Copies of this chain bind each other. A is one copy, B any other.
Amino acid sequence: MSQPARELYPLVGRNKELEKSVIQIDRVKIGDSKPVIMAGPCAVESKEQLFTTAKVVAEAGGEILRGGAYKPRTSPYSFQGLGKEGLELLKEVKQETGLLVVTEVMDLRDIQLITKYADILQIGSRNMQNYPLLREVGKTKVPVLLKRGMNATIKEWLLAAEYILEAGNKKVILCERGVRGFQEYTRNILDISAVPVIRHLSHLPIIIDPSHATGHKRLVAPLAKAGIVAGADGVMVEVHPNPDQALCDGEQSLTLDGFKELAGEINFLAESFGKEVGDVLS
């Protein structure tokens, strides 16, 4: 197996001397020793839904609130998100809870607006190779969370990140969210091996999203913990106060209690086991 070499990635590639990149936003450090927890509902639906969730996220030690205001949906007839109203709600809840906010940008014409509300711009799987969008977020100074395409190779993913860095923005966080597989008992296959592979190839932080990968709440916690132990810098999980009534992806959302338990386990894991993957970095 001949592998594409690090040299392919002049900006995102890790050279031997280089430290890992740590992306700091206010007091939160992504890529540092402590894993970061990003959590929240798939889509922002209402003040109450968002606030209830955010409070639990904050109390349990989560640092970043996720929530979609603009939703890329397979069908044009599905709920498309609250748009600007959703952004307003995210901002309100941010002010009340102190959480940072990550939200998706699908349309490059929305970037300017969204950067007024969000601390991190998410590029979703479907847009991983939307190069004009990558270039435009690359011109901002806002950190970007770049999800892996549902069928992207690691080379394609790192080169997508390269577009953002090449445009001037060095603050990119990679997010593994599963590749397409059998769609029998899981929605996708979470490729946890991507974590140590990326750690070896790149200086960028990498987190995992076991909610979209698996599509089932009961699989989220085991895979979240597995990802952390494999070296991930954090997790992004979906949480909803009432998953059965969610407008989007309720099946894969943790309940508030389920989330609290998971957050506790991640913190315990991080403390007792560390995030040492020295062999990967050699």
Contact = CB atoms under 8 A, between A and B. Distances in A.
Interface of A: 1-4, 8, 10, 72-77, 106-109, 126-127, 129-133, 150-151, 153-156, 159, 162-163, 166, 179-187, 189-193, 195-197, 200-201, 213-215, 218-219, 221-223, 225-231, 258, 261, 268-269, 272-273, 277, 279-280, 282
Contacts of A227: 226
Task: Give 4 nearest A-B pairs by CB, closest first.
Answer: A151-B151, A226-B226, A126-B129, A107-B132
Contacts of A184: 1, 3-4, 153-155
A248 B156 CA distance: 17
B221 A279 contact: yes
Contacts of A225: 229-230
A159 B75 contact: yes
A98 B221 CA distance: 37
5 contacts: A106-B131, A106-B132, A154-B182, A155-B185, A221-B277
A282 B219 CA distance: 11
B218 A193 contact: no
Q: Which of A106, A156, A193 has the most CB of B within 10 A?
A: A193
A185 to B, nearest CB: 5
A77 to B, nearest CB: 8
A184 B106 CA distance: 27
Contacts of A223: 192-193, 196, 230
Contacts of A195: 222
Given A190-B193, A225-B230, A226-B226, A218 B280 contact: yes
A257 to B, nearest CB: 11
A204 to B, nearest CB: 15
Nearest to A78: B159
B222 A280 contact: yes
A130 B227 CA distance: 29
Contacts of A277: 221-222
A42 B46 CA distance: 48
A272 B272 CA distance: 8
